Amino acid sequence: MAQKIVKHVKDMVAEANKEVEITPVVDASKYFEDSKYVFVDIRDPREIQREGKIPNSFSCPRGMLEFWIDPDSPYHKEIFNQDKKYVFYCAAAGRSALAAKAAQDMGLSPVSHLEGGFAAWKKSGNPIETKE
């Protein structure tokens, strides 16, 4: 018998977007280099290698996010223990909506996610950091 999915990802993203601040690209482009913000790229490392990333952003694979945020986790990363605003992004703003909601639910604050994701950032002509 096939599985009966009762909650679809599009509904989960829509719910997250109702609860989490969404940062327009035009605003993010004004403060992505400001030390009061941490831009968190939750894409897979292969995506980052292929496409590049927002300069100075921190890479945190989506599967490790909750473990890296939690100070009681053996995987905790100190970058998530700062008095800064966390702006999450992914390719197109679906995963980042879910990530920002999870981070917010854990108590990380303030958080937001980038409207349109890295695709919108790139389309707007903003700078991109690539590995050479």
Task: Report pLDDT for 1.
Answer: 84
CATH (domain of 65): 3.40.250.10
34-75, pLDDT tens digit by residue?
999 999 999 999 999 999 999 999 999 999 999 999 999 999
Distances (CA, A) of 120 to 90, 101, 107: 10, 20, 28
pLDDT value at 132 more than 70: no
Number of folded domains that form the chain? 1
76 found inside a domain = yes
71-98, pLDDT tens digit by residue?
999 999 999 999 999 999 999 999 999 9
Mean pLDDT of the chain: 97
| 127 prior amide bond cis, ω within 30 | no
130 found inside a domain = no
Q: Model's pTM, two decimal places?
A: 0.95
92 found inside a domain = yes
119 found inside a domain = yes
